[in-house]
Amino acid sequence: MPIKVYNSLTRKKEDFAPVEEGKVRMYVCGPTVYALSHIGHARSAVSFDVIYKYLKYSGYEVKYARNYTDVDDKIINRANEEGVSSEELAERYIKAFDEDMEALGVEVPNFRPKATGTIKKIIEVTETLIKKGAAYELNGDVYYSVRLKKDYGKLSGKNIDELESGSRVDVDERKKDPLDFALWKSSKPGEPAWDSPWSKGRPGWHIECSAMCMEWLGETIDIHGGGKDLIFPHHENEIAQSEAATGKTPYVKYWLHNGFVNIEKEKMSKSIGNILNIRDVLKDYTADALRLFLLSSHYRSPIDYTRDSLKDAESAMERYYKTVQRMKEEYPSAFEVESCIHCIEDRVSEMTSAMDDDFNTAEVIGTVFKEVTRANKLMDEAKATGEKKGVWTEISYTLSLFKEAGRFLGLFARTPEEYFGERNSRAAMPAEEIAGLIKEREEARKRKDFKAADSIRNGLLEKGIVLEDSAKGTTWSVKG
């Protein structure tokens, strides 16, 4: 069965068939590196990470590029405020972004081009556009002429004439048409600048993506992704300039756009001051919880970050890893055998048909949690009847299923030790100190001095540390 993807260009779900059979070329718009990345960036990166992983899982050979926009007004302004160079500022936030991605378990794309590393190609494409009459120079600036392409607006469903009447864009009198956008901007003193046939200057925003796509992937690519907000004008302009430059249509076969992350029903924005950085979220919640939260709804729907949403996800993650931990304790040898995929064919195909339908990760997560309940039930039954052999086999199948889901979700893929290790590293107290208090409490309990024992337990609870007594002794964990 073919993979079906929702294509923003046609506004329909379509059967996915790459230009070259068996091979996929995909490009995703990365961050403009002038600040720490927020959970909106996380959503885009995680969504396309899953798509990338799933395409590979499905047998495609995938070339995946994600760029860094490292030259831009915001970068220049911020660098001036801080009194550092644009390069220095950009490098700092590229590094931070990479760290955040690693923490989130986002796989490194095959290519991570920078706009500043693609200047040669940008100039080349711009020259071609001028030569073809699709762009014009004005005092060292170069503009793309929107009027020349009759299908301008096909991605965003916009009509040029209506755009102009309702336009909020400042009209630059020099431009032939208010909608024309800059391919090359001449620089003011002190701004980063490169030599070009028109001026010492820098590229406009839209052209860099077209150039990087061509440079690293080719003139026609299969998938181009990004946030919904990029549809207009960014991706619309990319289409116009790329198709005008190469003469090849389409520039991109499938346009995929992820939905936004809202905070308490409000859009994240600087003016509201509700921008939530990835690293701040990861101070309170595990990367698995954040990923689960992001993948629990469809990638195109808006999602709402609330006080409870990450807590809910963390609780769910905890339940999953506690189950795996129990499996490991009761059936350790089931962890030593190879996965048996054909043994669980029905459940794997349940997952792949969900993924084939425009990457329905939420449904896959449902399958995994059904399996969690099932495994626990089986282990309960085995305990009651003493019949462990058949259950051992089932447990090994369950593990195979978890591993399989992990391959493309990038979730459910850690060991319980890793997961709880991350949780417990947030303890407000050194582990040795906690161990000491637990020992003290043990002794009190032996004396049946429950008052003293409870006081220790409550004291730890106030610091967010939960004690759990079991037959094997007392363990602790950080409260979610």
Partner RNA sequence: GGCGGCGUACCCAAGUGGCAAGGGAGCAGUCUGCAAAACUGCCAUCCAGCGGUUCGAAUCCGCUCGCCGCCUCCA
Residues 167-186 that bind RNA (CB under 7 A): 167-169
Q: CB of residue 20 vs RNA: minimum separation in angstroms?
A: 27
| Phi, psi (rounded to 5 degrees) for 357 | -90, 75
Q: Is 377 in the site for RNA (CB under 7 A)?
A: yes
Q: 257, exposed or middle or buried, with CB in 10 Å at 0-12, 13-18, 19+?
A: buried
- Round to whole Å and give the CA distance between 13 and 254: 10
Among 146, 231, 256, 409, binds RNA (CB under 7 A): 231
The count of other CB atoms within 10 Å of the CB of residue 298 is 18
Cβ nearer to RNA, comparing 36 with 244? 36
Cβ nearer to RNA, comparing 373 with 385? 373
Among the listed ranges 128-136, 164-172, 189-197, 406-414, the one in contact with RNA (CB under 7 A) is: 164-172
- Round to whole Å and give the CA distance between 46 and 75: 24
- Round to whole Å and give the CA distance between 465 and 424: 9
Among 92, 322, 328, 407, binds RNA (CB under 7 A): 322
Cβ nearer to RNA, comparing 48 with 198? 48
Among 304, 339, 393, 406, binds RNA (CB under 7 A): 304
- Round to whole Å and give the CA distance between 267 and 303: 10
Order of strands, sheet of 61-66, starting from the edge strand that comes earlier in the sequence: 61-66, 23-28, 221-227, 252-258
User: Between 23 and 52, how does the x/- string for binding to RNA read (CB under 7 A)?
Assistant: ------x-xx-----x-xx-xx--------
- Round to whole Å and give the CA distance between 460 and 479: 10
Among residue numbers 461 through 480, which ones bind RNA (CB under 7 A)? 466-470
Q: Is 370 in the site for RNA (CB under 7 A)?
A: yes
Both tokens of residue 138?
Answer: 């004005």
Q: Is 357 in the site for RNA (CB under 7 A)?
A: yes
Cβ nearer to RNA, comparing 168 with 389? 168
Among 376, 392, 424, 464, binds RNA (CB under 7 A): 376
Q: Is 162 in the site for RNA (CB under 7 A)?
A: yes
Contacts with RNA by CB under 7 A: the residue count is 83
Of the candidates 116, 96, 99, 120, the residue with the CA atom closest to the CA atom of residue 108: 99
Q: CB of residue 466 vs RNA: minimum separation in angstroms?
A: 4
Among the listed ranges 193-201, 277-285, 376-384, 423-431, the one in contact with RNA (CB under 7 A) is: 376-384
Cβ nearer to RNA, comparing 197 with 302? 302
Q: Is 269 in the site for RNA (CB under 7 A)?
A: yes
Of the candidates 413, 432, 415, the residue with the CA atom closest to the CA atom of residue 423: 415
Cβ nearer to RNA, comparing 215 with 236? 236
Among residue numbers 74 through 103, which ones bind RNA (CB under 7 A)? 74
Cβ nearer to RNA, comparing 247 with 273? 273
Of the candidates 72, 59, 60, the residue with the CA atom closest to the CA atom of residue 29: 72
Among residue numbers 248 through 267, which ones bind RNA (CB under 7 A)? 258-261, 265-267
Cα 172 to chain centroid, rounded: 37
Cβ nearer to RNA, comparing 268 with 348? 268
Among the listed ranges 189-197, 402-410, 423-431, 447-455, the one in contact with RNA (CB under 7 A) is: 447-455
- Round to whole Å and give the CA distance between 281 and 277: 7
Side-chain-facing half-sphere of 194: CA atoms under 13 Å: 16
Question: Are 213 and 220 a contacting pair, CB within 8 Å?
Answer: no
Q: CB of residue 69 vs RNA: minimum separation in angstroms?
A: 7
- Round to whole Å and give the CA distance between 329 and 284: 28
Q: CB of residue 296 vs RNA: minimum separation in angstroms?
A: 5
65-181-86 Cα angle (round to 5): 60
Q: CB of residue 150 vs RNA: minimum separation in angstroms?
A: 17
Among 25, 121, 224, 457, binds RNA (CB under 7 A): 457
Q: Is 104 in the site for RNA (CB under 7 A)?
A: no
Cβ nearer to RNA, comparing 156 with 187? 156
- Round to whole Å and give the CA distance between 204 and 183: 5
- Round to whole Å and give the CA distance between 72 and 205: 7
Alpha helix segments (H runs only) across 58-157: 73-82, 86-103, 119-131
Q: CB of residue 262 vs RNA: minimum separation in angstroms?
A: 7
Q: CB of residue 431 vs RNA: minimum separation in angstroms?
A: 18
Question: Are 196 and 63 a contacting pair, CB within 8 Å?
Answer: no
- Which whole-number Å values give the CA distances from 413 to 143, 155, 173, 291, 389, in the listed order? 49, 37, 57, 12, 26
Among the listed ranges 49-57, 116-124, 404-412, 452-460, the one in contact with RNA (CB under 7 A) is: 452-460
